[in-house]
Structure 1
């Protein structure tokens, strides 16, 4: 791996320049456009989908559907929402939706099963708030699935449940201030599970080392035509597009202006380059308080699901503490970089680094969309 000094280029104002150029392009094109799509309508719908707590309709089946709704507020790779739910008596099955897999960035479906674990963890906290104890168990049958058995218990609304409605992957800048030791302990406890550990890296030399792996992985991905094409397919460049599909990566969530697809897809090649993205990641890692790395002791679907549950607890705990987080998964996504990264972490043979996450305090960003419950029920 090349030294970080060879792969990083400092340009502290490049993000602002890109924003201004994109906005200028939007204004220039205004005469031939109805309008550059506003995020207001998209955000109104995105927030209404999150609601403010458990809803009630007076029917026997609705509470189970409500658990599904809250499970879908979990994160998924490219916001593909790659899950299917089946309500059966006192249990809910969470299965992969392989029609929504991402073969370029996630060829072994690792992130897909991590996403299922995130959804299951949301369901655990939502169930407890509605007076049910949820016990997720991974079932390897077929493609693999999670069976969530539900039993009556004393209901309790926890801070993690309350955080479900505000949790987001915040892809903006943070304030660079450190997180207190008690808060770091809470994050570490939340992110640790059965066969999954989390390492919180807050020392600047360690964070710079992770940055070097992020840059190496990002450069490889940005030079991969299949990766770029897949990413572009899941970007929702305009608010209208995000509203219509209910999924994908809305441009507003990264601070970029909303534009029609025909224009934004052409401009993407001008602004979405290895250099510009590496500069953005360099700035954002350096204004983060730390980096969390999740690793499994075994590289199988059961542990991927557990890694998802651990990450989601971490993210909910962070949200409850007013701490933001966002993924930096390039070191674990690129097959040639992942073994190097694992060796740097000191992982043993058979162990796998699952997720890389930066965290810190900063402003919220626009929320991503979700599909309606009916669309994800099997």
Structure 2
């Protein structure tokens, strides 16, 4: 498809946002909001949906917004729209993370919107899942791993594959240690419980509606770090692929880049039949992050630890808030 030389209308931009909000986010908080203007849309961090205990610096919040930004780019490319992305918008609002402008001409972001339009990434947005169960016990082909490495590199990040059994076991130990530290923190447990919602609420970690009050009470009251850590240790050990998304720096722009790279990796993975989930505990716990970095023997900053493989069965999509809750249309000045 050739790139359309006519910028999208506000209604068309609103339609593109239906795909942006399918991005993954910590605790399914969906911490983004958008402002539509003539021929452009601004991406904002919604800090009312932050996780102070789990993500005190809003690092994962920003990564989640980067994932939504990549989805928006993929959707725009699929519809034939060319875009330029300003990742350093004027600091009139510290929550404004990016401005996506729709106009003719060459794109100004890595990866290339024309390339995005020719891949199967668009179809993957609606069927990608965070798959938290065990994967099938089969290896991921080298050609698929190469595609994942390229997807991260095209977005200016590095995807480090953990290949040795020793290294994988050490990472699994860090995951279990992270679980123990987090679950021992009453504030962390309280925050987790507060984001356990019934599906009808449209966000958060889904639990059956009738059981939600009981589940939240149990999570608040009991330290389940040992049992959760043992389960996550097993998941890490058995996963066909363990990988870390890393960035050269550790600033807001790096987190946005990590989000875009992560989402591209997830979408490319899905085109090869894979799903993924996260074991970010060694990155979320400040004392463990340097240990993970040293274990990887790299200078890059680890941003996301994910596991990938072929799912054994289907899983439901996480609920989403109504599109109308996450955007506004800015009226033009007369």
- Give yes or no for TM over 0.5: yes
C-alpha distance in 2 between matches for 1:198 and 1:296: 9
CA distance in 1, matches of 2:210, 2:268: 34
1 CA distance for matches of 2:37 and 2:183?
Answer: 43
What does residue range 185-200 of structure 1 map to in structure 2 within 5 Å?
Answer: 185-200=146-161
**Any idea what the Cα deviations from partners look like across 1:155-178, whole Å, max 9, x if unmatched?**
945301110010111111111211
8 Å Cα contact 1:135-1:149 kept in structure 2: yes
**Which whole-Å CA distance do the structure 2 matches of 1:336 and 1:66 have between them?**
42
> For 2:18, which of 69, 72, 86 is the aligned residue?
69
Offset, 1:274: 1.2
Q: 1:132 to 1:259 in 2, by over 3 A?
A: same
**For residue 242 of structure 1, what is the aligned residue in structure 2?**
199
Structure 1 contact 122–312 (Cα < 8 Å) conserved: yes
Q: Deviations along 1:128-148, whole A, 9 cap, x unmatched? A: 111102332212523241111
Q: Distance in 2 between matches of 1:196 and 1:293?
A: 10
Residue 347 of structure 1 and its aligned partner are, at CA, apart by 3.0
User: How far apart, in 2, do the equivalents of 1:295 and 1:65 lie?
Assistant: 32
**2:246 counterpart of 1:289:** no
* Structure 1 partner of 2:99: 147
Q: TM-score, normalised by structure 1?
A: 0.77
Aligned length: 308
Gaps of 5+ in 2: 1-7, 106-113, 329-334
The aligned residue for residue 305 of structure 1 is 256
Aligned match of 2:108: none
Q: What is residue 332 of structure 2 aligned with on the other side?
A: none
Separation in structure 2 between the aligned mates of residue 341 and residue 60 of structure 1, nearest angstrom = 46
Report deviation, 1:360: 0.7
Match of 2:319 in 1: 369
Cα distance in structure 2, aligned partners of 1:275 and 1:93? 43
Equivalent position to 1:359, from 292, 295, 308: 308
Q: How far does residue 335 in structure 1 lie from its aligned partner after superposition?
A: 0.6
Q: Judge conservation of contact 2:240–2:308 (CA < 8 Å) in 1.
A: yes
Please tell me the root mean square deviation across aligned C-alpha atoms, in Å. 2.0
> Offset of 1:262 from its aligned partner?
2.3
Distance 2:243 2:86 in 1: 25
The answer on whether the counterparts of 2:193 and 2:217 sit within 8 Å (CA) in structure 1 is no
**Contact residue 331 and residue 338 of structure 1 kept, 8 A:** yes
Contact persistence 2:9–2:39 (CA under 8 A): no
SS of residue paired to 1:281:
helix
TM-score, L = length of structure 2:
0.87
